[in-house]
């Protein structure tokens, strides 16, 4: 068993300066939460990464021709097959390692980690079958879902990841419907149902927790899945400076609990474990909602039922996780 990775804020800047992984100058919106997730992934590297990136925000902003923000091998693939391409990269690596074709070439390394990177559209909706297939074939890769809860780069259309009541351009707020009438898809439950060795949720505000989970996901032999919470100031109608505050509030209100699932055993981690032990620390969900323009209609007095329903959904989800967690 390898020594546990403990991120150190004094050493990380040197590591990132030598080998940045992702460069500044990418064209993500100001205050993009997903760009922070990418940087934190780069901080948690142990080997070089090969990244298969599905179409989505992070693909669009990092590689606007002829510029690229990646300092690591990277391939852009279609929405539906990020996991399939990552599976192919994994198979290729296995073949090269087994045949020893480049074993005497000092310029070529076949020792690397494979990462599939996709947004919520590319995971919840379009890429789900490729993801399911790759998990079932037990490929050794890490799948990172950066969840900004709608198709942000095409103009804020609703996706399977959009929460209840959120305004998007395809679920507008009017007299017939008020935001998305349905709930968020429990993607981690779906993934864990494949009995994979590692799955986790990550919020960039708790970076020590996040870096540890990224490293664990990369170290896992077999498929690993990480659900990262990416705040989108543009689509959520929030202030750019509130990105980290919102990532923190999402965890504190238990809208997005932090946990990991190791071999189908659930463990709460970090702040969520603290909240599970001291339930009085759980904040009302209103604090999280009132910062966001997409939930503005829910705070009006005539829509009080929506706020109550949102709280009910969050509580229900939290109870389910509390029941499953082994360390509470």
Partner 1 sequence: MSKRGWQEIPIAGIPFLESTEYHTGDWKVFRPVIDEQKCVKCGNCWMFCPDSAIEWDGESVPKPNYKYCKGCGICAEECPAKAIEMVR
Positions touching partner 1 (CB under 8 A) are: 9-14, 16-17, 20, 22-33, 35-36, 39-40, 62-69, 71, 76, 204-205, 207, 233, 239-245
Closer residue to partner 1 in complex, CB, 18/221: 18
Residue among 31, 26, 28, 7 nearest 246 (CA): 31
Residue among 2, 47, 7 nearest 213 (CA): 7
3-state SS class at 12: helix
Tokens of 38: 């990418």
Closer residue to partner 1 in complex, CB, 207/310: 207
Minimum separation from the CB atom of position 24 to partner 1 (A): 4
Closer residue to partner 1 in complex, CB, 52/314: 52
Tokens of 59: 């693909």
Closer residue to partner 1 in complex, CB, 71/304: 71
Beta strands (DSSP E) in 148-223 are: 198-202
Closer residue to partner 1 in complex, CB, 37/196: 37
Tokens of 31: 């205050």
Peptide bond into 66 cis (omega under 30): yes
What is d(CA 49, CA 111) in angstroms, rounded to the nearest whole number?
9
Minimum separation from the CB atom of position 283 to partner 1 (A): 18
3-state SS class at 274: helix
What is d(CA 145, CA 188) in angstroms, rounded to the nearest whole number?
10
Minimum separation from the CB atom of position 245 to partner 1 (A): 6
Minimum separation from the CB atom of position 241 to partner 1 (A): 3
3-state SS class at 312: helix
Name residues whose C-beta falls within 8 Å of residue 101's C-beta, 6 or more positions apart in sequence.
none
Minimum separation from the CB atom of position 264 to partner 1 (A): 32
Minimum separation from the CB atom of position 206 to partner 1 (A): 11
Closer residue to partner 1 in complex, CB, 1/6: 6
Q: Which helix (DSSP H) or strand (DSSP E) does residue 51 occupy?
A: strand 49-54
């Amino acid at each position: 068993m390898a020594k546990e990775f403990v991120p150190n804020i004094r050493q990380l800047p040197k590591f990132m300066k030598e080998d940045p992984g992702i460069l500044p100058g990418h064209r993500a919106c100001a205050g993009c939460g997903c760009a922070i997730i990418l940087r934190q992934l780069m901080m948690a590297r142990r080997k070089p990464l090969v990244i298969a990136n599905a179409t989505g925000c992070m693909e669009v902003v990092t590689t606007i021709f002829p510029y690229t923000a990646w300092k690591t091998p990277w391939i852009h693939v279609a929405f539906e097959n990020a996991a399939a391409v990552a599976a192919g990269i994994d198979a290729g690596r296995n073949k090269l390692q087994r045949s020893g074709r480049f074993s005497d070439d000092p310029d070529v390394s076949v020792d690397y980690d494979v990462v599939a990177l996709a947004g919520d559209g590319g995971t919840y909706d379009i890429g789900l079958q490729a993801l399911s297939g790759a998990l079932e074939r037990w490929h050794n890769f890490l799948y990172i879902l950066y969840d900004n809860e709608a198709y942000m780069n095409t103009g804020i259309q609703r996706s399977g990841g959009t929460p209840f009541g959120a305004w998007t351009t395809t679920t507008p707020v009017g007299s017939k419907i008020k935001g998305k009438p349905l709930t968020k898809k429990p993607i981690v439950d779906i993934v864990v149902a494949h009995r994979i060795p590692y799955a986790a949720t990550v919020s960039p505000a708790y970076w020590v927790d996040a870096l540890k989970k990224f490293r664990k996901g990369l170290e896992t032999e077999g498929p690993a899945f990480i659900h990262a919470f990416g705040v989108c100031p543009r689509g959520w109608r929030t202030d750019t400076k509130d990105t980290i505050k919102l990532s923190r509030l999402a965890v504190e209100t238990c809208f997005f609990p932090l946990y990991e699932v190791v071999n189908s055993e659930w463990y709460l981690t970090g702040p969520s474990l603290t909240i599970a032990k001291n339930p009085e620390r759980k904040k009302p969900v209103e604090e999280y909602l009132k910062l966001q323009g997409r939930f503005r209609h829910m705070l009006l007095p005539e829509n009080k039922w929506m706020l109550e329903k949102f709280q009910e959904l969050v509580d229900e989800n939290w109870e389910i996780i509390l029941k499953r967690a082994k360390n509470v």
